[in-house]
Structure 1
């Protein structure tokens, strides 16, 4: 899995305020209105079943990138559950790459 590509795909969201991302994700995210949240199983481990479950739960969601961006900003390495069509184990590995990418972009003065 290429985490650099995943992180680069989120660059267009870098300047979107947290509250706007949260509003978009809670308004448009399928998991907030299409599922009974008590029926969504908890994910653990790094096996392909967790990834398949996460991808299946988020299939067709219009705000997958926004959701992933929001979780990386707000939960970071302490993330749990499914956000952005990825299990928490993947997001914990993505987070330091995302942090380094964003810090590098800020140092270069990149504003996308």
Structure 2
């Protein structure tokens, strides 16, 4: 699996910059597949020891219509303290994305 382009990923999230947190939260809770797509009892099978974090995140979020909204919400609310899978990314990738996203939001990179 190749490395992600965090600059491109952060730029894609710019479209949500003005969306209020409560609206993002409602959209993710209402439309996110993670809330109903798989039975939690399946988690041990999905999360086998040999499954890399990126692959697991990709599989858990496959087909979800609100991946970007979910990712944006987590970057806003958890920031560098993120845990688990949000927006089809494991926490390690979101921690790497966070400073790039934050610079864009603070006006450090052109939109």
Q: TM-score range by the shorter chain?
A: 0.7 to 0.9
**In structure 2, what is the Cα distance between the partners aligned to 1:29 and 1:18?**
15
Indicate the residue corresponding to 1:74 in structure 2.
Answer: 77
Aligned residues: CA RMSD: 2.3
How far off its partner does 1:39 sit?
4.3
Deviation >6 Å, runs of 4+: none
Q: Which runs of 5+ in 2 are unaligned?
A: none
Indicate the residue corresponding to 1:89 in structure 2.
Answer: 92
- Which string of whole-angstrom CA distances, capped at 9 and with x for unpartnered residues, describes residues 14-42 of structure 1? 0000000000000000001222346436x
Q: Which runs of 5+ in 1 are unaligned?
A: none
Indicate the residue corresponding to 1:51 in structure 2.
Answer: 54
The question of whether the paired residues in 2 share the 8 Å contact of 1:31 and 1:37 is answered with no
